[in-house]
Every structure is written in structure tokens, then in C-alpha cells.
Structure 1
């Protein structure tokens, strides 16, 4: 499918490429409901929310066709056991999640435990049965490790490759997005994440090959207003 000229898109046309994100400590019910309603109002491509609020957001978005996305083994990536990730993935889907961004075991990769790294991801893919995005933390990897991470993730059956979990790892770079896009077979896409706060920045990442961008500054991006948001996933 031909990709659009992102620079020519109106704000409303750009919004579906943005996963509207609210993942932070202490989110209240009123705040998460407002976030879900913003996703509908602005026409964002998904509502990315903590697992604890998936059920609530799925109820708000019922009938809208907008996916509920959430994160697993996050914000500290690679600390959850494989069995724990499998169980939580299944539970998140039961609660209404349509997409899951999952952390990967970077330590296992760096230790050369490639089979364990791949099987950890594959367990989540199998348990969830919905699109899985792997947060690869590319800035932490050597060139050989980047290649192995991509190859093993694809073997595990993921639907998306993601450059990083958040802005604490990387302000999403076009170079890393292009690196992933060039290695995606048909049916696999790229999500850009980390420190995305402006329209020009989002468009640059989409033009580099991202299918979507995850950001907590979605409203600012589509309204061309300044963002003082400190987190971006």
C-alpha cells in the first residue's frame, strides 16, 4: 500500500498515525476516561494506557473501532519472568486490550541466550493473540545485538518492531526507525516512541518508515501547540 505524503496531511489526517499515550504514576479514573474521550475526539489511532485501566478504557471506546493499547514489562523493561508475561498478556486481552507493547530480555540477548530471548517474546505473542510490539531499546545494543534482536523478534512472530520503550532510552531517531523499517518483512510494521513532542518530529519519523508514533503529546501535535509534556512513550 502506498504511503501518504505526511507533510501534506491535515491535523485530522495525521491523528490516526498517533497512539495517544497516558502512562504515568497516579492516573485517576476521571483522567483516564478523559484521555479515552480525547482519543475519540481527535481521531487518534489508539489509546495507549496502563494495564490497570484497560478495562475502563475499553468500555469507553466500545463501538468506536479505536484500539486499546497497553504496555507489558514496563516501565522497567526486562524484569518480568516469562511465565508472568504470558499470564499478564492473556489477562490484558481478556480485559479488552487490542494491542500490547512488550519489554524484551535485553540482558539475555547480551548474554548470548538467543533462544530464551526469542521464546520469551513468542510466549507473549501466543498468549495474547493480538498485535505485539517489541520495545527493542536500540540505543543500548551493539550493531550485532541490534541485528539479532530484530531477527529473533521476527522469528517470535511480532507484528511491530519498536525502537525504544520511552524517552528515557531514546528521543526517537529517524535513523533507528529507518533501520527497523528496512528489515521488516511484509506484514510487520514499525512504531516510533520516545520524546516525540512536535508535528515536524512526528512527520519525520513517519517518513522514515514508522507506521505509527506513540506520544503523550498527541493533542499538541495535531493542534500545532507547544508541548511541555515530560514523558513520551
Structure 2
């Protein structure tokens, strides 16, 4: 691991309900400085792409609860692609998963994957699922040709854990998101199999990594 490699694995994130474009600009400036990606609300993607075309932009679809209709998720994915998004993090329909409506969950993911030529990371919200449900969610994401599975939105009680990353990595590359605040925590997730880290603490992770190298 070196600083450039770590930065390329970090999705520096701002997704709170009160997020302003000034907040997005700050994240984009941080991402540029350290070489990180940025994960921002869909409403700001067009302006963000114009401001920082060199930053890899991820955005969210069906966020944060995943209860949007499949058509709405598909249309949102197409909209943010048109606006310049590079990657999409979509939330599964958690209620349908828990009800055993697996065909509907698979189709929901597949519609978004098929709608855009972008990597789609599928947020399964691990804190709300049993281990059996986590396995099933990852299986469905893989069957739907998703690029990644992602642990969390950051809006449920609980975020990424080493155990969940290990479980999910059996199926697809993993984005560990939620509660990762420094290099030691990020390192634990990477060692468990995470290939991306989503965090509002991207700068803190980079600075703690650099300090550990001194």
C-alpha cells in the first residue's frame, strides 16, 4: 500500500440531508488534493463535474432507503450519468429482500445496471440484515451483474464491520462504508477484503496513513 493506492480506494463522501453545494465543493477540493474519489448527492453531480472534471464522481440512487420504484431508480441512474457521474451507489429494496421477494430485488438491481455504462455498487445496508439475508443480497447483486456490493448508507444504526466485509467479499468486490474514520480502521477493512472505502473522513484517513509512515 502506498498513498496513491490508498487515495484511489477512498470515496470521500458528503451525503447528509443538509448538504449544500459549498459542502460538495469542500469535498471536491479535498479529493483533488489527496487524489481521492468523491461521493456526493445526485442533485449536485452536474455542477460538480463542471467544477472538478478530474475527480472520479460517485453518486447515489434510491438513497437512503431503497424504496423508490425500479423505474425511478433507473431514470435517476440515467439522469446522473447524463450529468457526468462516473459511478453509482444504489440501495436495494430492503423490505422486499426481507420479505423473500428475491426476483423483484434482482430485477431492481439489474434494471439500474443495464441502464448505464457505469460501475454500480449495490448498498445492502448490513446493519438491518441477518447473515443469511446478507448472503442472499450479495448473491442477487452478483446475479444482476453489479460491480460491487457496499455495506451501508450511513443512515442506519451501524456501519461497516470486518465480519461483514469478509462475508460480502465471497461474492463481489466490496465497498466498506459507515464508521471508518482513520487509517487503522480502513486498513482493517482492506485486510478483510474491501477494495473501496466510503467515508466522510477521507482526509483524516489519508492524514493518519501519512503520519503512520513517518
Asked whether the two chains share a fold, i.e. TM above 0.5, the reply is yes
- Please, which of 204, 213, 233 is the counterpart of residue 197 of structure 2? 213
Q: SS of 1:224's equivalent?
A: helix
Paired positions, count: 209
Q: Indicate yes or no: 2:156 matched with 1:168.
A: yes
Provide the C-alpha distance between the structure 2 equivalents of 1:36 and 1:179, rounded to a whole number of angstroms.
32
Per the TM alignment, residue 69 of structure 1 is displaced from its structure 2 partner at its CA by 0.3
Per the alignment, residue 126 of structure 2 pairs with 138
Residue ranges of structure 1 left out of the alignment (5+ in a row): 1-5, 226-233
- Please, which of 101, 109, 118 is the counterpart of residue 121 of structure 1? 109
Per the TM alignment, residue 156 of structure 1 is displaced from its structure 2 partner at its CA by 0.7
Per the TM alignment, residue 110 of structure 1 is displaced from its structure 2 partner at its CA by 1.6
Runs of 4+ in 1 over 6 A off after TM superposition: none
- Please, which of 35, 42, 50 is the counterpart of residue 59 of structure 1? 50
- Please, which of 7, 23, 34 is the counterpart of residue 15 of structure 2? 23
Provide Cα deviations, 1:129-183, integer angstroms capped at 9, x if missing partner.
2100111122322233222211111111100011222163423111110111123
Residue ranges of structure 2 left out of the alignment (5+ in a row): 210-214
| TM-score, structure 1 as length reference | 0.84
Coordinate RMSD, CA, aligned: 1.7
Provide the C-alpha distance between the structure 2 equivalents of 1:140 and 1:29, rounded to a whole number of angstroms.
30
- 5 Å matches for 1:178-197? 178-184=166-172, 189-197=173-181
Per the alignment, residue 38 of structure 2 pairs with 47
| TM-score, structure 2 as length reference | 0.91
Per the alignment, residue 72 of structure 1 pairs with 61
Per the alignment, residue 151 of structure 1 pairs with 139
- Please, which of 79, 92, 100 is the counterpart of residue 104 of structure 1? 92
- Greater alpha carbon shift after TM alignment, 30-39 vs 211-220: 30-39
